[in-house]
Amino acid sequence: MPETTLLAAKTPATGVFAFTRPTSWQVIAILIALLVVIPVVVIFSAWGKSETDILRHMAEFVLPELLSNTFWLLLGVGLGVTFLGVSLAWLTAMCDFPGRGFFSWALLLPLAIPAYVLAFVVIGLLDFTGPLQTALREAFGPLKLPQIRSRGGVILVMSLALYPYVYLIARNAFMTQGRTALEAAQSLGVNRWQGFFRVALPMARPWIAAGVMLALMETLADFGTVAIFNYDTFTTAIYKAWFSLFSLSAASQLASILIVFVLVLVLAEQHSRSNMKYGTVGRSVSHRRIVLSRKQGWLAAIYTGGVFSIAFLIPMVQLLIWAFDAAATDLDARYWAFVRHSLWLSGLGAFIVTLLALLLGYAGRQQPGHSMLLIQRIATIGYAIPGAVLAVGIFIPVAWLDNQLIDWLKPHGWQGTALLKGTLLVMLLAYAVRFLAVGFGSVDAGLQRITRSIDEAARVMGSHTWSLLSRIHLPMLRASLFTAAALSFVDIMKEMPITLMTRPFGWDTLAVRVFEMTSEGEWERAALPSVAIVLAGLLPVIFLASRGDKQ
């Protein structure tokens, strides 16, 4: 066919790898994407120069345990978040029971508590010396209770901390597409409970899968929780390789294995997202929620209330009690230094993230096309890469650059041994990579709302690139930029492994303080910095909840 050959001949010129001269916007986007690509390449290239004895030691003693620990953790948390997230989403979206209105947004609140905070509170409460076991022993004598510091314990804590990812997205799916489809199923003789399994659940599958993948990415990226439980996974192993064995190449090799896990999850997530566009059915007409019987209603209320209490209410109360006790001694100048450092770093990081997100979004607008979409995708993939991996992947090239600079400067009389290594550069770059997706999401959504015809109207009236940006786009984007900054601010404040591994001397933050206190088992003293982190974390959750109400 002549047409097909013509098409085939044309493809290389218009395809992704076209060798036309890139425009300046493409260059900017590619540079941003390189921030993600370089660390990944660096980590994989560590296989070239292996320190054989450390590697052999790891392969023999460490790797099998890491792999099995990671496998069971992913499986357990995957099942846990699916069950909690889907059941809670279905109940609050489709059924009526006492307290439904309150729980439908309150169930998002656990998002504000980082998993590592929930972890030490749960351990503090349920450990052998904790109040619950002590009370039980006093009442019933010596008992044999399951250990909280166990694989089951980690899975429980992570499931409780991460189920909102599934809950949020599944609830959205049920609310937008379950209704007409469920009615159609009913008109075909299927009752509503059967309809859940035959229609609503299979239809929501892409959403649920995407939510579970996100939760699993967080599981892989987690450092603080597993550190508190002494449950060795790749992130803790990377940390130990770097700071105990002083082997960056061992750390990189571990990181590269972790990245393979991550990439599988990313592909699975992208696949489910691509399935979503077929999943919507109809508009939501006026509808009634399923009216549960009295008994069913109370059971639903007890279940949702129970999850809410265990995941948020009880930990919060305990946290506040401990923080209050510790405040007497710990609320000193050092504490305020932690707060100051946290605010500074989060602010600076949020600014960089927002700026990069704006540039990347703007590049996509000025130079749309398949290649730009691909570049944007790569540039925002950092949300999936664990902080411990990024820390290693960015430290190595920066250290290399540092050495080059020093070699170059030495003949000119430079005396120092580090130029970039001791600065905030590594940490800020790692933050930018990890949280660019958060910022880009809201900036891009804002940009989408500015239609082509608005641009064209402004152009017709003589507004060009920069005046278009300052007079039309920035004012219209103000809310999105603020959202982007606020969300990344909070994420950076909660962030633990990057901060811990790459902070310059003297830059201890709240999260670092939590890590130090928990590694000594001082739950009360870890509570005080945690409260500040949780309070900051409440902001985006309230934002999410209010947006959910409007929909």
Q: What is the dihedral of CA 498, 212, 381, 221, to 10 degrees?
A: 20
Please report how close the Cβ of residue 211 comes to another protein at its closest, in angstroms: 17
Nearer to another protein, 274 or 417 (CB): 274
Site string for another protein, 425-464 (x = CB under 8 A): ----------------------------------------
Residues 6+ apart with CB under 8 A from 404: none
Out of 34, 190, 314, 406, the residue judged to bind another protein by CB under 8 A: 190
How far apart are alpha carbons 399 and 320 in whole angstroms?
42
Kindly indicate which of the ranges 122-130, 137-145, 200-208, 292-300 contains the residues binding another protein, using the contact rule CB under 8 A: 200-208
Q: How many residues bind another protein (CB under 8 A)?
A: 23
To the nearest whole angstrom, how small is the minimum distance from the Cβ of residue 208 to another protein?
12
Distances (CA, A) of 352 to 248, 299, 509: 27, 48, 19
Look at residue 130 and give its three-state secondary structure. coil
- The yes or no reply on residue 187 touching another protein (CB under 8 A) is yes
CB of 205 to another protein, least distance (A): 7
Which tokens hold the place of 550? 């409007």
Q: What span, in angstroms and rounded, lies between the C-alpha atoms of 223 and 496?
A: 7
Which one of 188, 409, 445, 479 is in contact with another protein (CB under 8 A)? 188
**What distance, in Å, lies between the first and last C-alpha atoms of the chain?**
50
Write the CA distances from 457 to 102, 161, 385, 454, integer angstroms.
Answer: 45, 47, 41, 5
Identify the three-state secondary structure at position 155: helix
Cβ-based nearer residue to another protein, 150 or 274: 274
186 binds another protein (CB under 8 A): yes
How far is CA 472 from its chain centroid?
Answer: 32
Residue 290 bridge partners (DSSP): 95
CA distance 32 to 26: 10
Contact code string over 249-268 relative to another protein, x by CB under 8 A: --------------------
The nearest distance, CB 82 to another protein, in angstroms, is: 17
Q: Does position 18 bind another protein by CB under 8 A? A: no
Contact 223, 188 (CB under 8 A): no
The DSSP call for residue 21 is P
Q: Shortest approach of another protein to residue 187 CB, angstroms?
A: 4
Spatial neighbors of 409 by CB under 8 A, at least 6 apart, are 419
Q: Which stretch binds another protein (CB under 8 A): 7-15, 150-158, 178-186, 345-353?
A: 178-186
Q: Is 281 in the site for another protein (CB under 8 A)?
A: yes
Should residue 52 be labelled a site residue for another protein when binding is judged by CB under 8 A? no
Query: Is residue 205 within the footprint of another protein (CB under 8 A)?
Result: yes
Copy the structure tokens of residue 5. Answer: 């050959």
Binding map of another protein across residues 337-376, x = CB under 8 A, - = no contact:
----------------------------------------
Residue 367 CA to residue 365 CA, distance in Å, equals 6
Residue 133 or 186: which CB sits closer to another protein?
186
Note whether 293 binds another protein by CB under 8 A.
no
Q: Pick from 99, 279, 297, 548: which binds another protein (CB under 8 A)?
A: 279
Dihedral angle over CA of 224, 227, 229, 235, nearest 10: 90
Q: How far is the CB of 206 from another protein (least distance, A)?
A: 9
Half-sphere exposure of 219 toward its Cβ, with a 13 Å CA cutoff?
32
Q: Is 274 in the site for another protein (CB under 8 A)?
A: no
Residues that bind another protein (CB under 8 A): 180-181, 183-191, 198-199, 202-203, 205, 277-283
